[in-house]
Structure 1
Amino acid sequence: MRRPFGPVLAAALWALSSAPAPAQDAPAVRLGFAKCAHCLPMALLPGLARGVAVDATGFNSGNDVLTALVSKSIDVAQVTYLHYVTALDKGFDVVAVAGEVNGGSECLAGKALGLAADDWAGFKAAVEKARAAGTPLKVAASRGNAQDIHMRGAFLKQGINPNKDVQFVNIPNPSDHLAAMQRGEIDMVCSVEPFASQIRMAGAASRFVLPYDQAAGNLTNLIVTRSDVIKARRPAVQAVVDADVALVGKLTADRAVWIDVINQKTGLPKEVAAEALKNAEPDYRMYRAKTLAIAAMMRDLKYISRDVSAEVEKNMDYSFLEAATRRTRDGLGG
């Protein structure tokens, strides 16, 4: 846990927060993140934070992280653009303050399908054949996460209705995807790294497609908080965003540290971690226009019940990134 580097810095932080005690005596910022290749680097963020202590906790999924944020069990959360839109649809108080890592989605086909990579014609033929036989293909994902939405959007763009043409199988914990594929319980899975690479490298399935040909593109992660946290502890939120910008720089410059944290947090071999990072892109920017497109796609897929465009724009706060990078909103995806 880091402490301020001297009494002058402590006094400055005290003045900024208007707290009755020095910064080192303030409660830690409680940070939550999911257990996936592009999320696990958040475990490194406490070591990069300056002027604030960060208590980072890993959760099984982004859904669990979002639940912890809205229930006020944590102060800042690494979730996805999809969780952000879903939260706004439900009227939750969430404010996006930075990006982190994008990518990490892969659709993998079981051997029985005999599909080559990107063979949409072959997949559509298999879908039609299975439907005609009354045994629709079983396609799995962790419902509500980025990979689920990426897959559904890509299917829809190819004329495959994910709600009618295939049988969706919800496997909440991505670490269980491999076993389901090995047991033959599913025909295809859209999984998250490093578990997608684990499935491929175990020979249980092969790459069908990286499902980025849809409104979300490869956008995945956002750092979000609540308005009450910003109001009460703005300097602390700024310190987290500063650390996130530093983290993105670190991941871009040194993949070894990223590989190490995946290995340590999941127990998967470093070879799997290294393969997973071929499908990951560190990026602290937030993409407003694409987020609006994601919200429209999610409404088309009936994942949300209403138009949340106004809330999407209102609740993307670029001021922290502007301060951390000294760049304008336009240069930060705004």
Structure 2
Amino acid sequence: MRRSLGPLLAAALWSVTPGFLAPASAQEAPVKVGYAKCAHCLPVALLPGLAKGATIEATGFNSGNDVLTALIAKSLDVAQVTYLHYVTALDKGFDIVAVAGEVNGGSECLSSKALNLTADDWGGFKAAVEKAKAAGTPLKVAASRGNAQDIHMRGAFLKQGINPNKDVQFVNIPNPSDHLAAMQRGEIDMVCSVEPFASQIRMAGAAVRFVLPYDQAAGNLTNLIVTRSDVIAKNRAGVQAVVDADVALVEKLKADKGVWVDVINQKTGLSKEVAAAAIENAEPDYRMHRAKTLAIAAMMRDLKYIGRDVSADVEKHMDFSFLEAATRKTRDGLGY
């Protein structure tokens, strides 16, 4: 008799509340969102708690390159990447659609104490570059190749008359969390790192701030929320739910920096002091900046990071309709 209670109870509940006990396979699958592990990216981990109308599953990756790879491989539905990743993907002909911004900033160039540079001392840096180059031992400048900080640094150098491909020796350190150790070991003379690792380097006394490299075509633009056209076609409501949550997230970050500090602390293990310093170099912004994106694409072509003019693709693959629905603003007020 006891064995029959389970099936009978289930049947009774099913008859009273049709669909209440529907199997998971019949329910809407979660929207899979990926993000990188940096100060301006980690808030994406909060999207699931802000979602309405869909379930969001957020997963962290070591870098934006890894996130983009997962999106293209269809392991993700939506990804937080950078404007630079967006342009690179278009250059390669990948199916990618930008739907919102998230947080900008997060880049800092730090110099070794041996260079004896003060903040924004481009004259002193250029003199050091020329001296080292003439001696046959060019300065070693590190970044994580292809991320926003790499491009910000290269653009800023180029604007100051320093060729990042010829005047210095570039050192690729893919995982930004490894930047501190490389500087401590004296393997590099300068690094353009991402927050919170830039603040970690500075607060550990391993290097000093040289410049925030925003004086170039990209400005401080960093993050985009992107998806693929097949995801939009299959689950437009899910993409809209992500953008709605993103808009709510940006407003939350503006109103409560404590939430931001907490998520950085929890996801990286770095202290709240480092996290608090990191977000001073970050700007929540859900807009997509079309004109500057075109300028970024032109700069990336000049730097030979892309091989063709992708201006038409940039225009074609920015879909403002989700932001318009989320904010009830027209695209002209959303960065178009």
Shared fold by TM > 0.5?
Answer: yes
After TM superposition, give the deviation of residue 24 of structure 1 in Å: 8.1
What does residue 60 of structure 1 align with? 62
Change (3 A) 1:22 1:183: closer
Residue type of the alignment partner of 2:63 = S
What letter matches 1:95 in structure 2?
Answer: V
Aligned to 1:204: 206
Superposed counterparts of 1:72-221, under 5 Å: 72-221=74-223
Unaligned runs of 5+ in 2: 1-22
Residue 327 (structure 2) pairs with residue 294 (structure 1): no
In structure 1, the partner of 2:319 is 317
> In percent, how many aligned pairs have the same letter?
84
What amino acid sits opposite 2:185 in the alignment?
Answer: R
Runs of 4+, deviation exceeding 2 Å: 21-24
Counterparts of 1:81 and 1:212, CA distance in 2: 14
Task: Quote the offset at 1:22 in angstroms.
Answer: 10
The C-alpha deviation readout for 1:216-248, integer Å capped at 9, x for no partner, is 000000000000000000011000000000000
Once the two structures are TM-superposed, the CA of residue 51 in structure 1 deviates from its matched residue by 1.1
SS in structure 1 of the partner of residue 205 of structure 2:
coil
Contact (CA 8 Å) 1:107, 1:208: kept in 2 or not?
yes
Report how many aligned residue pairs link the two structures: 315
Cα RMSD, aligned residues only:
1.3
Contact kept, 8 Å, 1:23 with 1:52, in 2: the verdict is no
| Structure 2 length-normalised TM | 0.93
Partner of 2:5: none
Three-state SS of the structure 1 residue aligned to 2:235 is helix
Structure 2: distance between partners of 1:277 and 1:247: 15
The one-letter amino acid of 2:248's match is A
State which structure, 1 or 2, has the greater radius of gyration over its C-alpha atoms: 2
SS of the equivalent of 2:58 reads strand
Q: Describe the superposition over 1:253-305 as per-residue Cα deviations: whole angstroms up to 9, x where unpaired.
A: 00000000000000000000000011000000000000000000000000000
> TM-score, normalization: structure 1?
0.93
Post-superposition Cα deviations, 1:73-104, rounded to whole Å, max 9, x if no partner, equal: 00000000000000000000000000000000
| CA 1:253–1:261: 2 relative to 1, 3 Å | same
Q: Alpha-carbon deviation of 1:313? A: 0.4
Q: Which residue does 2:13 correspond to in 1?
A: none
Residue equivalent to 1:51: 53
Take 2:185 and 2:50, find their aligned partners in 1: how far apart are those partners? Answer: 42
Structure 2 partner of 1:13 = none
Q: Do the aligned partners of residues 219 and 39 (structure 1) sit closer, same or farther apart at CA in structure 2, a change above 3 Å counting?
A: same
Kept in 2, the 8 Å contact 1:155–1:161? The answer is yes
- Note the C-alpha offset of 1:108: 0.1
Q: Given that residues 99 and 222 in structure 1 are in contact (C-alpha distance below 8 angstroms), is that contact kept between their aligned partners in structure 2?
A: yes
Distance 1:127 1:54 in 2: 48
Question: Aligned pair in 2 of structure 1 residues 22, 321: CA closer, same or farther (>3 Å)?
Answer: farther
